[in-house]
Amino acid sequence: MRRSVLWILATLFATSSIALAQPQIELTWWINPWRIVTPNLAEGQSPTGEEYAQYMSEQFMALHPNVTVSYELVPNAGFGEKVTTAIFAGNPPDVLKDLDWNPDWAREGLLEPIDPYLTDADRADFLDYALAKGEIDGQHYIWPWNNSNNGMGSTMLLNTALFEEAGVELPALPDRSWTIDEFMAAAEALTMDRDGDGTTDVYALTFAARDTENMLAWLFRFGGRLMNEDGTEFVLNSPEGVRALQFIVDLIYEHGYAPTGGEALDVYGTIENLHNARAAMGYGGIYEIGRIDRYLNEGRMPDPINVAIAPFPHDPTAGPVAYETSGGFLVFKQDDDYRREMAMELARFLTEKDNIKLLESLLYITARRSANAELTFTNVAEYTDDVPTEVAVYQAAIDHGIPYFGPSDLDISAAMEHFTAAMEAALSRSKTPQHALDDFVAAANAAVFGR
């Protein structure tokens, strides 16, 4: 009896010692809304964007009872402003989704490098470019989470009913790759005047000057690039870049395959035209198929459409190109070793295999190879013929991914407003493609490199 009591007392003492050794701390975590379906969400309930942050915080706190995670849902619009203000006020969150992040934060010593916490298994499992995105001066600062984006700049969505109506075959499987010539033949047939009144009822596709990713995707078709390989100069006014912009302008004004007015549109203009069947082709990947379901439920589009994914068409000499991008979580500088350890633990927890797979409900590919091998995306089956095929096509497309915006450690935000201006000028024909890109390159080099 006495021995039992002693054991109990010893156990209690040991437990309380451990508890005392682990102080109560509070970690702040800021993330924009991600409409991820969490395991605790009721059947049929649509996520609002907050469930993920709440669920993951609770899960983490259950594992670490001495840690309180205070998550804050920061809207996409104004995310950068809020984070910047917090940084300048000396009060950034402990863990942050890397939306609108600036590589200078790492150089200023505001971020914790994650290298000491990355295991060999992590390094092998994370996609190379996802890990490389957060590499500044030889150290890594981002725990990779989502791979690619919503597919903008990487793949196109083809309205299968309109393809059928126009008598156009979808590009051939397994990867649906197609050449510019094949695309042009399809675009001609897909541009339809159904009632013969001289007005185009269905356009092949839409161009939008303020849709940066997709405009860059088109400008890269013939081998043009935004910057040189060293990331030391903007070179989009190369003959290949100018040829691509001329190609876009011709599609609108010479062939009439795309509507005029693109100079006033952003990416939502392209989405709207696809959803309203005013354009036979739009942009995006699996995530954008999910948007169809969401917009139908919200009454934002009239009728469902069935779509297939295809890569952007390629020029045989230049080869296929897609947008390589990823996102993840940053850990801000910590004064206390234990807080640093737990902030890193939270970021690791969010990005470990079982948790990263939650991205599947949002129709995102993840940054972990092991998780991607198990993704099925069954919840978009209603709007596409064969989900595994579309997933395979999408993954094949982003295998050709390249970073569109130059080196990840270079802040080119000052240049991109000039890019939009150049696209507006070209699409409204107030400047020739050569003139527009020359002006862009001059302004961008001056803004970013001071020359």
Partner 1 sequence: MRPRAPRRGRGSLGSGPLGSGPLSPGSRPSGARTGGWWGLVFVAPQTLLFIAFFLIPVVIAFALAFMEVRPTRMTWIGLENFETVLHDDLFRRALVNTTVFTAVVVTFWLAKAVLIAYLLDPMSHALQTFFKSAFYLPAVTSGVIISLVWLWIYHPNFGLLNGLMVFLGRDPVAWLGNTSTALPALMAMQVIMGGGSSIVLLSAALARIPRDLYEVAIIDGAKRPTIFAKVILPLIRPTLLYLVVTGTINTFQVFEAVYVMTQGGPQFATTTVVFRIYQEAFQRFDLGVASAQAIVLFVITVALAAIQFRVLGQNVEY
Give the nearest distance from C-beta 420 to partner 1 in angstroms. 6
Residues 204-233 that bind partner 1 (CB under 8 A): 209-210
Q: What is the dihedral of CA 247, 248, 251, 253, to 10 degrees?
A: -110
CB of 377 within 8 A of CB of 387? yes
Choice from 278, 353, 369, 435 touching partner 1 (CB under 8 A): 278
Give the nearest distance from C-beta 211 to partner 1 in angstroms. 12
Euclidean distance between CA atoms 310 and 170, whole angstroms? 9
Which CB, 365 or 415, lies closer to partner 1? 415
Residue 390 in contact with partner 1, rule: CB under 8 A: no
CB of 211 within 8 A of CB of 404? no
Which CB, 92 or 285, lies closer to partner 1? 92
Structure tokens at 331: 């850990």
Number of residues that bind partner 1 (CB under 8 A): 34
Give the nearest distance from C-beta 263 to partner 1 in angstroms. 4
Residue 265 in contact with partner 1, rule: CB under 8 A: yes
Under DSSP, the state recorded for 273 is H
SS3 content of the chain, % helix, strand, coil (to 5): 45, 15, 40
Give the nearest distance from C-beta 129 to partner 1 in angstroms. 25
Choice from 44, 109, 196, 450 touching partner 1 (CB under 8 A): 109
Residue 201 in contact with partner 1, rule: CB under 8 A: no
Residue 112 in contact with partner 1, rule: CB under 8 A: no
Give the nearest distance from C-beta 251 to partner 1 in angstroms. 16
Which CB, 23 or 78, lies closer to partner 1? 78
Taking the CA of residue 48 as centre, how many other CA atoms within 13 Å lie in the half-sphere pointing to its CB?
A: 6
Choice from 11, 46, 76, 260 touching partner 1 (CB under 8 A): 260
Structure tokens at 229: 């390989």
Choice from 146, 147, 191, 273 touching partner 1 (CB under 8 A): 273
End-to-end CA distance of the chain: give it in Å, rounded.
85
Residue 110 in contact with partner 1, rule: CB under 8 A: yes
Which CB, 29 or 419, lies closer to partner 1? 419
Residue 80 in contact with partner 1, rule: CB under 8 A: yes
- The DSSP element (H or E) to which 96 belongs, if any, is strand 95-97
CB of 105 within 8 A of CB of 134? no
Q: What is the dihedral of CA 394, 77, 33, 56, to 10 degrees?
A: 110
CA 377 → CA 166, 287, 327, 393, distances in Å? 29, 10, 20, 13
Stretch that binds partner 1, among 64-72, 272-280, 352-360, 385-393 (CB under 8 A): 272-280
Stretch that binds partner 1, among 28-36, 282-290, 382-390, 415-423 (CB under 8 A): 415-423
Torsion sign (Cα): 225, 265, 100, 38: negative
Residue 69 in contact with partner 1, rule: CB under 8 A: no
Torsion sign (Cα): 47, 53, 58, 59: positive
Euclidean distance between CA atoms 217 and 294, whole angstroms? 26
Which CB, 107 or 294, lies closer to partner 1? 107
β-pairing verdict for 95-97 and 365-366 = unpaired
Which residues are at the interface with partner 1 (CB under 8 A)?
80-81, 84, 87-88, 102, 104-105, 108-110, 209-210, 259-265, 269, 272-273, 278, 413-414, 417, 420-421, 424-425, 427-428, 430
